[in-house]
Amino acid sequence: MPKPTYRFCAGPWNFSEGRDPYGPETRAAHSFDWKLSALKKLGFDAMMFHDDDAVPNIDTKSATQVLKEAKELKKRLDGEGIVAEMVAPRLWFAPQTIDGGYTSNRKADRQYAIDRSKQTLDIARVLGTDLIVLWLAREGTYLRESKSGARSTELLVDALDAMLAHDKKARLCIEPKPNEPMDHAYIPTIGHALAIAQLTRDPKRIGCLIESAHSILAGLDPADEIDFAMAFGKLWSLHLNDQNGLKFDQDKPFGSANLRVAFNQIRALERNGYGSRGEYVAFDVHPFRTTREEHYLKHLDNSRKTFLRLVEKARSYPTKQADALIADRNYQDLDQLVIEHLLGR
Ligand code: XLS
Ligand code: MG
């Protein structure tokens, strides 16, 4: 298989200002144009969008106005030579989504979520991408007795069907995450995402997006999730980052918490040829709250550097030696071989 050349992507939200639940911003916000040209300078090829990153204050605007602004954005992207990778409906901010989007217990609120998702497909078409990402943020519960899991599965299928019917060319990419903001989410892993696709009107147009931190939060190895999704030809997008154990979603730079887990993700991408069908490597990372303004871009630049260094490491991995150790069931020395390789010997 030819070695892929990777292309990189990030979203406007990845230039975050340091706010957390316990304190305000620690860095001044930058304009959208600043972020766009920063990505270009960093050697990134694409930007990913929430619907309201593409069209701010989207709920206050008419459908015509939304599409007009999307067209203007497309021009700015073309001018900068940056592609729109995907668009994702932000279904966790508005008052209508307090109890979830597609699985809300209120019919009118579910309709809001579906209408907003359909509009996201329209925006994506204008931006020149067929890829819609669904991070199902509030599709879950704080307490299980508040919703029926069986009913919620049906409602999720209805919502996916409505999107598939709205645009016959769009591809929907489910981004699973097991928790946060919810106690438990309904689609916590890649297995769930690929399984629910089978209940829809067009399973071929439903794939998935793996975020390293989300797999780790589910107690899984992101490399296994990559191998599994790619065995089905379903890994259509990727959010690399890192996460130190089971706690709040950290979105650390790629490789920051566990270099070996990062290395194994790269090996999985390499052996499955990720990128060879035009898929992008996105870094869903945030600066640390302590990061000063002059270092605003380090988390993205460093993630990309680490990624490329680990690609070299994957390509120079002593496969013959490793295979001999595997044949001999000498996993003790295999373990050390990996460690020595990562340490640079
Ligand atoms: C949050 C998600 C989000 C998605 C896009 O945890 O990672 O950033 O990638 O909606
Ligand atoms: Mg993500």
Domain boundaries, the chain: 8-317
> CA angle 342-223-282, nearest 5°?
90
CA of 135 to the centre of ligand 1 (A): 6
What pLDDT, on the 0 to 100 scale, is given for residue 236?
98
Residue 208's beta-bridge partner residues?
174, 235
**Residue 1 scores a pLDDT above 60:** no
With CA atoms as reference, report the closest residue to 224 among 199, 179, 175, 191: 191
pLDDT in tens, 109-132: 999 999 999 999 999 999 999 999
Pocket of ligand 1 (CB under 6 A): 50, 88, 133, 135, 175, 177, 211, 239, 249, 284
In whole angstroms, what is the distance from residue 339 CA to residue 332 CA? 11
Minimum CA distance residue for ligand 1 atom 3: 135
Arithmetic mean of pLDDT, 35-50: 97
Instruction: Give the model's pLDDT for residue 107.
Output: 98
Average pLDDT over residues 37-62: 97
Average pLDDT over residues 89-97: 98
| Cβ partners under 8 Å of residue 291, min gap 6 | 18, 26, 27, 298, 299
Question: If you average pLDDT over residues 182-188, what whole number do you get?
Answer: 97
According to the model, what pLDDT value does residue 112 have?
Answer: 98
Predicted local distance difference test score (pLDDT) of residue 85: 99
Q: How far apart are CA 247 and CA 21, in angstroms?
A: 14
For 269-320, the pLDDT digits (tens) are 999 999 999 999 999 999 999 999 999 999 999 999 999 999 999 999 999 9
Cα(65)–Cα(75) distance, rounded to whole angstroms?
A: 16
- CA–CA distance, 8 with 30 (Å, rounded to integer): 21
pLDDT grade, residue 4 (50/70/90)?
low
Q: Which residue has the tokens 């979203």?
A: 11
| pLDDT band for position 89 (cuts 50, 70, 90) | very high
Q: Which CA distances in Å does 52 have to 65, 101, 200, 268? A: 13, 16, 27, 33
DSSP 15: S
When pLDDT is cut at 50, 70 and 90, the band that residue 345 belongs to is low
Does the pLDDT of residue 2 top 90, yes or no?
no
Give the Å distance between the CA of 317 and the centre of ligand 1.
32
Quote the pLDDT of residue 175. 98
Task: Report which protein residue has its CA nearest ligand 1's atom 10.
Answer: 135
Q: Average pLDDT, whole number, for the chain?
A: 97
For residue 286, what pLDDT is reported? Answer: 98
Q: What is the pLDDT of residues 207-232, one digit of tens each?
A: 999 999 999 999 999 999 999 999 99
Beta bridge partners of 135: 175
Judged by DSSP in three states, 54 sits in helix
Instruction: Identify the DSSP state of 136.
Output: -
Average pLDDT over every residue of 91-98: 98
For domain 8-317, the CATH superfamily is Divalent-metal-dependent TIM barrel enzymes (3.20.20.150)
77 and 84 in contact (C-beta within 8 Å)?
A: yes
Please compute the mean of the pLDDT values over residues 180-199 and round it to a whole number: 98
Provide CB contacts within 8 A for 287, sequence distance 6+.
15, 16, 18, 27, 295, 296, 298, 299
Mutational test site, ligand 1, from 138, 211, 216, max ligand atoms within 8 Å of CB: 211
- pLDDT band per the 50, 70, 90 thresholds, residue 11: very high
The answer to whether 36 and 72 are in contact (CB under 8 A) is no
For residue 135, the ligand 1 atom closest to its alpha carbon is 10
Find out whether 62 and 47 touch, Cβ atoms under 8 Å. Answer: no
